[in-house]
């Protein structure tokens, strides 16, 4: 299998690049703004950029789209940039996938739902609440419409190993290891099913190997709010110094609305792969502590 990963210097893309390569696939991963040693340059907003890696010449069987603008509040005030980096980039990769006769993998989110009736199954009705959410849904639907064999993985609250350590869980671990005092003002009413990026990569590998298409919800074994998530990590650092301030989402006055009861029921995936064992925050933190 030959795979091109857009956004491979990030959290999900980086884990996919590592896992797919370890499984013997021929994989090329790209970066745009953050270069890593094992990635090539590709600008999804400018497919004719002469510096772009020649994807058509590489002739991938699969194109995995991991790049997007994920700063939800920023998107609310920068709608055109949000559209460009989420929707237009997807349109451009759809065209590229057609040119290469490749399957597209699109990474989506639980933000396509309004958070009133979560956790969600794949066929739950959409109701995005923010600019970011509307653009993610638009790109998801375009992918499925234009390329019927598209594979969509919906994920949320992703954590795990990444070079920059930008994700929420990794940042807490790093600050605790460095004995920095943490100040955390977190919503107690936003629930989700956090997923380890390594599990996402492992699940995607199986789905691609078996030529699966359509939408799959992917999540870990936890279903927690943000306060519980932070406390779970902090419990492994008894000497950590921190101020944790639980607050309601309404009190936070964030520019973008959030789905409160988010997260996923991953019954579809688990029914098809009953032997697949998802990790959780505890297993991840323990693995980091053992390194």
The 3-class secondary structure across 101-154, one letter per residue, is CCEEEEEEEHHHCCCCCCCECCCCCCCCCCHHHHHHHHHHHHHHHHCCCCEEEE
pLDDT at 291 over 80: no
pLDDT at 37 over 90: no
The CATH superfamily of 164-191+222-261+280-289 is: UDP-galactose 4-epimerase, domain 1 (3.90.25.10)
Q: If pLDDT is split at 50, 70 and 90, which confidence band does 193 have? A: very high
Instruction: Give per-residue pLDDT as tens, 57-94.
Output: 999 999 999 988 889 999 999 999 999 999 999 999 99
Q: What is the pLDDT of residue 164?
A: 83
CB-based contact 205:20 (threshold 8 Å): yes
Q: What are the φ and ψ backbone dihedral angles of 11, each rounded to 5 degrees? A: -65, -60
**What is the CATH number that goes with domain 2-158+193-217?**
3.40.50.720
pLDDT at 127 over 90: yes
CB-based contact 10:36 (threshold 8 Å): no
Q: Residue 15: which residues within 8 A CB-CB, separation 6 or more?
A: 160, 161, 162, 197, 198, 200, 201
Q: What is the pLDDT of residue 69?
A: 85
The mean per-residue pLDDT over the stretch 166-185 comes to 93
Q: Strands 224-225, 191-192: parallel, antiparallel or unpaired by DSSP?
A: antiparallel
Q: What is the pLDDT of residue 261?
A: 96
> What average pLDDT does the chain have?
95
CB-based contact 133:112 (threshold 8 Å): yes
Q: What is the pLDDT of residue 290?
A: 82
State CA 162 to chain mean position distance: 12
Q: What is the pLDDT of residue 166?
A: 83
Q: Which residue has the higher pLDDT, 18 or 166?
A: 18
For the chain, give every domain's residue range.
2-158+193-217, 164-191+222-261+280-289
Instruction: Give per-residue pLDDT as tens, 199-226.
Output: 999 999 999 999 999 999 999 999 999 9
Tell me which residue of 69, 288, 40 sits closest to 165, measured CA to CA.
Answer: 288
pLDDT at 182 over 80: yes
To the nearest 10°, report the CA torsion of 145, 200, 15, 135.
40
Q: What is the pLDDT of residue 180?
A: 93
CB-based contact 151:103 (threshold 8 Å): yes
The mean per-residue pLDDT over the stretch 185-209 comes to 97
What pTM value is reported for the model? 0.96
Q: For residue 224, what are its two tokens?
A: 């927690």
CA–CA separation, 58 vs 236, rounded Å? 45
- One DSSP character per residue, 205-249 reads HHHHHTT--EEEE---S--EEHHHHHHHHHTT-TT--EEEEEE-H
pLDDT at 282 over 90: yes
Q: What is the pLDDT of residue 68?
A: 81
CB-based contact 24:30 (threshold 8 Å): no
pLDDT at 155 over 80: yes
CA–CA separation, 40 vs 52, rounded Å? 8
| C-alpha dist (Å) from residue 138 to 85, 128, 233 | 12, 10, 34
pLDDT at 277 over 90: yes
**What does the angle CA 189 – CA 194 – CA 197 come to, to the nearest 5 degrees?**
155
Q: What is the pLDDT of residue 7?
A: 94
CB atoms within 10 A of CB 158: 25
Q: What is the pLDDT of residue 132?
A: 97
Q: What is the pLDDT of residue 165?
A: 77
CA–CA separation, 30 vs 88, rounded Å? 17
Tell me which residue of 157, 149, 145, 138 sits closest to 105, measured CA to CA.
Answer: 149
């Amino acid at each position: 299998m030959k795979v091109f990963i857009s956004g491979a210097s990030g959290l999900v893309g980086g884990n996919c690049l590592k896992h797919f390569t370890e499984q013997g696939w021929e994989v090329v991963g790209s970066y745009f703004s953050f270069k890593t040693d094992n990635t090539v340059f590709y600008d999804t907003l400018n497919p004719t950029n002469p510096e772009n890696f020649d994807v058509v010449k590489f002739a991938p069987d699969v194109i995995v789209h991991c790049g997007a603008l994920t700063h939800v509040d920023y998107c609310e005030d920068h709608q055109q940039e949000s559209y460009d980096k989420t929707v237009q980039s997807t349109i451009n990769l759809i065209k590229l996938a057609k040119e290469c006769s490749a399957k597209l993998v699109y990474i989506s989110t639980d933000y396509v739902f309004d958070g009133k009736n979560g956790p969600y199954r794949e066929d739950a009705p959409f109701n995005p609440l923010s600019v970011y959410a509307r653009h993610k849904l638009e790109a998801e639907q375009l992918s499925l419409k234009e390329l019927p064999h598209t594979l969509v993985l919906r994920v949320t609250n992703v954590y795990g190993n990444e070079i920059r350590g930008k994700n929420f869980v990794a940042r807490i671990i790093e600050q605790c290891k460095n004995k920095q005092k943490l100040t955390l003002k977190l919503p107690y009413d936003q629930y989700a099913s956090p997923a380890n990026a390594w599990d996402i990569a492992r699940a995607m590998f199986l789905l691609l190997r078996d030529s699966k298409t359509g939408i799959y919800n992917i999540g870990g074994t936890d279903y927690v709010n943000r306060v519980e998530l932070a406390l779970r990590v902090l419990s492994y650092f008894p000497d950590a110094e921190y101020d944790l301030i639980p607050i309601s989402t309404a009190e936070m006055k964030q520019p973008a609305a959030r789905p409160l009861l988010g997260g996923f029921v991953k019954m579809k995936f688990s029914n098809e792969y009953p032997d697949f064992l998802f990790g959780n925050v505890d297993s991840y933190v323990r693995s980091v502590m053992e390194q």
